[in-house]
Chains A and B, each alone.
Chain A
Amino acid sequence: MDSFVTVLVICLISGLAFLLGSLLVVSRLPRTGDSGGSTAIEWNGIKVTTTSVFVALTIVSAALAVALPGFTLWLNAHIDDAPVILRATLPPARGASYNVVHSDDIANMSSSTLTLLMYKSRIPQVFSVSAAAIDPVNIEAHYTWMDKSIAVTLNNDKRTTRVLALSSGIADIGELSFNRAARPGVQTISKTPGPKPLLPAAASRVPDPMLPTVTP
């Protein structure tokens, strides 16, 4: 609502500026004489009376005074800054709860129902949901502003992209399906870091991707 008040004040100021600026321009136009009690002015060969100019300006200002706040109200109804909730149902994980990692480096734990708080950002937000014995499920959620919906892609597979409608600020993915991990979460690995594999020159020149940032 604060943003609405700000826009309303901007509308009023710009409306007044429009009216004063127009009057200033009109006052500087050359007068060609009086016609029926009001002064006639000429602009690019068009002769009009000051009375008709004032009437036209008043109508335009009034129309703007109605249209701009109306548009702002409409925009305010469609776009708000409140975060939305992405909900998913998780199958019961034996002996452990699920771990959730957000691309913003926030990790938390969840039980049977997953609720992901996401901001209405133009940049997709990514979550990883997993437990020790299952492969991670990567959830990429993208809020679409005007449709008030969330496009969800699982494990970067664009064929699975679904558009979920928001209802009272909540979008429901439904039940997530997991694959049993080939290996348990604790890996037996070499304690010595391996050397970085040599890259072909062409591959090294590929510019980095644009990394996501959370802009609440």
Chain B
Amino acid sequence: MIVRMLALVAALALTAQTPPPSISGAVYRGGAGTTSTALVGALVYIHPADAPDGQWTGPAVTDSYGRFLFQAVPPAKYLLRVFFNRKRVWEQVVDRPGRLSPIVLPSSG
């Protein structure tokens, strides 16, 4: 009985500590044979991929290290777009919230 209660308390504690799902990543600029540099000040937006009439969330501005973060994102598939100097420079589908692989843009892009 005591073991069951302890297990229940532990399960509850784990549930309470689970951070809300987020989408985070980093955007870099660089190409083959060059050093990649962080893309600072890019605007990142997400949109529910399965709801064409849905609303865009954002922007998240990339920081001095090119990183961005969307917090408390409902679990779903998202369309992610990156804009820099008012131009779309990247788009991809994010299957589920989480930490994304680094986005590396071509130097010229």
Contact = CB atoms under 8 A, between A and B. Distances in A.
Interface of A: 99, 101-107, 126-130, 132, 135-138, 154-157, 159-160, 181-182, 185-187, 189-194, 196-197, 199-200, 202-206, 208-209, 211-212
B69 A155 contact: yes
Interface of B: 20, 22, 24, 26, 28, 30-36, 38, 40-41, 43, 45, 47, 49, 52, 56-65, 67-72, 79, 81, 83, 85-86, 88, 90-93, 99, 101-102, 104-106, 109
Given A191-B36, A193-B31, A196-B91, 12 more contacts: A101-B62, A101-B64, A102-B41, A107-B64, A155-B60, A155-B69, A185-B65, A189-B36, A202-B49, A209-B47, A209-B56, A211-B59
Contacts of B41: 101-107
A154 B102 CA distance: 23
In order of increasing CB-CB distance, the 6 nearest A-B pairs are A155-B71, A209-B56, A99-B64, A185-B65, A130-B63, A128-B61
A132 to B, nearest CB: 7
A101 B40 contact: yes
26 contacts: A103-B43, A103-B61, A105-B41, A128-B61, A136-B67, A138-B61, A138-B68, A156-B71, A157-B20, A157-B72, A185-B38, A186-B65, A187-B102, A191-B31, A191-B35, A191-B36, A192-B31, A193-B30, A193-B105, A197-B92, A206-B47, A206-B79, A208-B88, A211-B83, A212-B43, A212-B59
Interface centre among A192, A200, A204 (most CB of B within 10 A): A192
A143 B86 CA distance: 23
A126 B65 contact: no
A191 B30 contact: yes
